[in-house]
Structure 1
Amino acid sequence: MLYKIIKSILIIVSSVIILKVIHYSLNKVFKFTKFDERYENTLFSVLSSISYYIIFILSIILVLREFDIIDATKFGTLVTGASIVGLIAGVASQSILKDIFSGFFVLFEKQLQVGDFVVINEIFRGTVEEIGLRSISLRDWDLRRITIPNGSITSIRNYSKNKMRIVVHVRVSYEENPMKVISALDEVCDIMNEKYKEYLLKSSSGDVKTQFKVYGVTDIEDNPVGAKYTLTGVVESYKYFSALREAKLQILIVFKNNNIHIAYPTHINILHHKDNEKEL
């Protein structure tokens, strides 16, 4: 009995070592490939997940064989043991199979890759850190790791698919001259197009495809605060949040320099003095 326990421990230790060797080998192989970095990280994550499950299943079979639960040399015994295991798995792991199949669809349809910033199910937001057969792991803004079963994914918003359109809205008081506001927003676009042109979407030859521009007045109805102005620009996806922050900052700076006030809710209170009422 002691011999079987020791041998089982050796099987487990060997499995761990094999996994380490596989991970090391994958890292070495990907150093010589010319794939995109995010694609390499995705392949590494998926292949690591697959190797983990294969080695885990083989280790379980070998350990069970040591205790004469499964005899791999006898087909009948193996089939019987596999049938029992399969029956248990079929009852208890329907969700696991759903996760695996969903994971294959996510991978084959290239809905996301390791390193992408995504919003899943309109709830979970973060950078994809690991893609496995059963689940996807995100790292959110607070550096918390979020693990989501593939089978529970109903929607994916990917902010890292080559290009993204920045849309910035700003409300300005109705008292401001509209042409003055548009001129100031044109100035913001010029700053973004010159000072931050590395953010802009470029063609394969390096030419800028689309620059920042003022879209115009986009809302004046049913809003007592002010008119809404909009500017847009198409940027490289990985620069989206940096460009968005910078565009908003430049709006504040240019508006302040031009003495343009952003609209905000105000309340006017009218007070009647009693003495004035008596005189009237």
Structure 2
Amino acid sequence: MLSKIINSIFIIIISYIVLKIIHYLLAKLFKFTRFDTRYENTLFSVFTSISYYIILTISIILVLREFQIVDVTKFGTLVTGASIVGLIAGVASQSILKDIFNGFFVLFEKQLQVGDFVVINELFRGTVEEIGIRSTSLRDWDLKRITVPNGSITSIRNYSKEKMRVVAHVRVSYEEDPTKVLGALEEVCGIMNETYKDYLWKSKCGEVCSPFKIYGVTDIEDNPVGAKYTITGVVQSYKYFSALRDTKLQILIVFKKNDVHVAYPTHINILYHDDTNQKEL
């Protein structure tokens, strides 16, 4: 019995070493490929996951053989072992197969890759850190790791697909002159197109396709605060959040310089004094 335990431990150690060797060889292999970096990281993550499950399955079979539960040389014992495995797999096969198949569809259609910033199911937000055959792992803003089963993924919003449109809204008091507001926003667009031109999305010929411009007044109805103005611009996907932050900052700076006031909720308190309720002493 002691020898079987020792052999089992030895099998586990060897399996661990083999798994590390496979990961090392995969990392070396992808250094010589000409794929996109994110695509390489995605393939590495997937193959790592597959190798893990293969090595794990082989290790379990070898350990079971040590305890004479499964003997791959004997058909009857193999069938018995397969029946046990089949029974266990049958319990969880529905969710497991759903995770695996959905994971392959996500990968095949390139809905996301390692390094993409995504929102999954309108609930989980973060950078894709690892893609496996059963689950996908994200790292959110707080650096918490979020693991989502592939079978539960119903929607993906990907912020890392070549280009994105920055849409910046600002509400301005109704008392402000619209012509003055539009002039200030035109100045903001000029700053974004010149100072931050590296953000802009360009065609293969190097031409800027959709620079920042004023979209116009987008809301004046049923809003007591002020009119909403909108400017837009198409930027490279990995520059989206930086471009959005800088656009909002430039709006505040230019508005301050041109004495344009951003609208905000105000409350007017009216005090009513009734002299008829006063009595003479």
Range of TM-score over shorter length:
over 0.9
Q: Which residue does 1:111 correspond to in 2?
A: 111
1:208-256 alpha-carbon deviations (Å, 9 max, x no partner): 1110000010111111110000000001111000000000000000000
List runs of 5+ in structure 1 lacking aligned partners.
Answer: none
Partner Cα distance (1:33, 1:89) in 2: 37
TM superposition shift of 1:96: 1.5
Q: Which residue does 2:11 correspond to in 1?
A: 11
Partner Cα distance (1:198, 1:80) in 2: 64
Partner Cα distance (2:218, 2:118) in 1: 28
The normalised TM-score by structure 2 is: 0.95
Q: Which residue does 1:251 correspond to in 2?
A: 251
1:13-53 alpha-carbon deviations (Å, 9 max, x no partner): 01100111011111111111111110000000000000000
Q: Which residue does 1:91 correspond to in 2?
A: 91
Q: Which residue does 1:133 correspond to in 2?
A: 133
Read off the aligned partner of 2:74 and give its amino acid letter: K
1:206 aligns with 2:206: yes
TM superposition shift of 1:273: 6.2
Q: Which residue does 1:170 correspond to in 2?
A: 170
Read off the aligned partner of 2:146 and give its amino acid letter: I
Read off the aligned partner of 1:44 and give its amino acid letter: F
Alignment length (residue pairs): 276
Read off the aligned partner of 1:80 and give its amino acid letter: T
Choose 201-210 or 128-137, whichever is displaced more: 201-210
1:131-178 alpha-carbon deviations (Å, 9 max, x no partner): 001100000000000001111111111111111111011000000000
Tell me the C-alpha RMSD between the 2 structures.
Answer: 1.4
Read off the aligned partner of 2:270 and give its amino acid letter: I
List runs of 5+ in structure 2 lacking aligned partners.
Answer: none
Partner Cα distance (1:237, 1:79) in 2: 53
1:46-96 alpha-carbon deviations (Å, 9 max, x no partner): 000000000000000011011110010112221221022112211234212
Choose 44-53 or 101-110, whichever is displaced more: 101-110
1:112-146 alpha-carbon deviations (Å, 9 max, x no partner): 00000001111110000000011000000000000
Q: Which residue does 1:61 correspond to in 2?
A: 61
